[in-house]
Every structure is written in C-alpha cells, then in structure tokens.
Amino acid sequence: SQQGEEDPQALSIQEGENATMNCSYKTSINNLQWYRQNSGRGLVHLILIRSNEREKHSGRLRVTLDTSKKSSSLLITASRAADTASYFCATALFMETSGSRLTFGEGTQLTVNP
Amino acid sequence: DAGITQSPRHKVTETGTPVTLRCHQTENHRYMYWYRQDPGHGLRLIHYSYGVKDTDKGEVSDGYSVSRSKTEDFLLTLESATSSQTSVYFCAISESEILGQPQHFGDGTRLSIL
C-alpha cells in the first residue's frame, strides 16, 4: 500500500499565487522528500526534510513536517507557469542493505495559469 | 542532470514475448532502482540493486527479473509480458549509504503490451 497520500489531487491557480500541497503518511520515517515531474519526464528531487526537522526552505519552496500528525506540506510561493507539473511526496526509510527505500504518493497535479 | 539513460524510450510488444529494459548510469552510484508508474498508483518499486550482482525485490516484483553485472547497468526483464505490465518504467539511482540520499531518475520507458 502507498505510504504517502497527497492532497489535493489537482490544484489550479493563477500565476503569482501561492500553491500548497499536503502529504500524509502512515508509519515512522527517516525523512520525507518532495519531487516534481514534468509531463513525459522523470522525477526531479526538490527538497528533503529529516524527521527531526520541522521546516525547511529552498528558494520559493517551503516544506513543513509534523511527525506527530504524520503529515507534511509543500508551499510554492509566487508561482509561475513553469511550475506546472505533478508533485510527489516520498517517505524514506533507510535499510542497511538497500539505501533509502522510498515510498511515493500518487501526486498532486499543479496547473499555474498565466 | 544525473547521467541516467533508459532504453528504449518507447516499446510496443505482444503478450507473451520477453522484454528487456536497460538503465545505464555514468555516476558510479551504488544503488539502482526500477519503478513502474501507473495512474492511481503513483510509483511502485519493482526491484532494486545495492551493488554488482546484489539485488532484491520491491513491492511489485512478480513477473519481473533484474540483473546487474556492472555498476553502470541495471536490466529489467519481463519474462513473458502481459497486458497488466503496460506502464511507464523509471530507473533511479542514489549515491551512498548516507541516510536518506535523494534518488535521481531517468526519463522513463513507455511500454505498451498488446
């Protein structure tokens, strides 16, 4: 079963607005990662937040993590048409032999209208 | 972009035929992964490798086998393709045992089984 579940499944906003996507998960994790996928391409890593961190920033991205609620959010500020993509959260559990095993949610499709 | 090449990028084949997908990396990363991406399921791990000749099963491994004879190449084989294996297949790599290293993805192989 999928560990991460994103909400909403789809989000449509105007350029310049902020976009917030949420992710919930079920079991304990080592870290949570957010990825972006443009149509027809592979996933691109955006940001990683460790289980002992509560908030992290990277450019226009802000990620929060609440381990007590088993949830995370990704905020994209001042969105641009180029931000249109699918966004996935992935929970990571480190296995000694296999590195970081990631379990992905189904993604949020973000459309930013010019 | 991480040096990951998947081949072929598109393939159409018939039920019952064997199919092999190739992932080639130029990053000398130890860990390699095969995922499939389907609507409503997100990305699901098929098999992974934690070194040359060291592989293990993921959550959806039935009907698939893998081989890794060199650090740079990870092959995914569908022994006898079925229509349920129509999907987009992604290869990913990650660098080391460092906790929670992000994964880097290829651009996928779109496989259609008729």
Chain A interface includes B30 (CB < 8 A): yes
Strand partners, A5: A24
Question: How far does CA A100 lie from the centroid of its chain?
Answer: 16
The answer to whether A27 faces chain B, any CB pair under 8 Å, is: no
- Output the pLDDT for position A100: 66
Q: What is the pLDDT of residue A2?
A: 47
Domain ranges of chain B: 4-113
Find the CB nearest B94 among A4, A100, A107.
A100
Smallest CA–CA distance from A30 into chain B, residue: B100
Whether B31 and chain A come into contact, CB under 8 Å, resolves to yes
Residue with tokens 């002992």: A52
For B:53-112, CB contacts with A below 8 A are 54, 56, 90, 92, 94, 96-97, 99-108
- Residue of chain A whose Cα is closest to the Cα of B103: A45
* B4-113: CATH superfamily: Immunoglobulins (2.60.40.10)
Task: Work out how many domains chain A is built from and give that number.
Answer: 1
Dist. CA B112–CA B103, nearest whole Å: 26
Candidates B42, B99, B106; nearest CB to A105: B42
Q: Has residue B6 got a pLDDT over 60?
A: yes
DSSP 3-state of A15: coil
Q: How confident is the model at residue A27, as a pLDDT?
A: 86
Mean pLDDT rounded to a whole number for chain B: 93
CATH number for the domain spanning A41: value is 2.60.40.10
Domain with A23 in it:
5-113
What average pLDDT does range B73-98 have in this prediction? 92
Mean pLDDT, each 10-residue run in order, chain A (114 residues): 76 97 91 94 95 96 97 97 96 72 90 96
pLDDT at site B1: 58
Q: Is A59 on the interface with B (CB under 8 A)?
A: no
pLDDT recorded at residue B2: 65
Q: Name the residue with higher pLDDT: B103 or B74.
A: B74
The verdict on a CB contact (< 8 Å) between B107 and A42 is: yes
Q: Is the pLDDT of residue B60 over 50?
A: yes
Question: What pLDDT, in 10s, does the model give residues B37-57?
Answer: 998 788 999 999 989 999 999
Report the gap between the CA of A26 and the closest CA in chain B (Å).
Answer: 16
**Contact list, B104 vs chain A (CB under 8 Å):** 45
According to the model, what pLDDT value does residue A5 have?
Answer: 82
Biggest CA–CA distance in chain A, Å, is 46
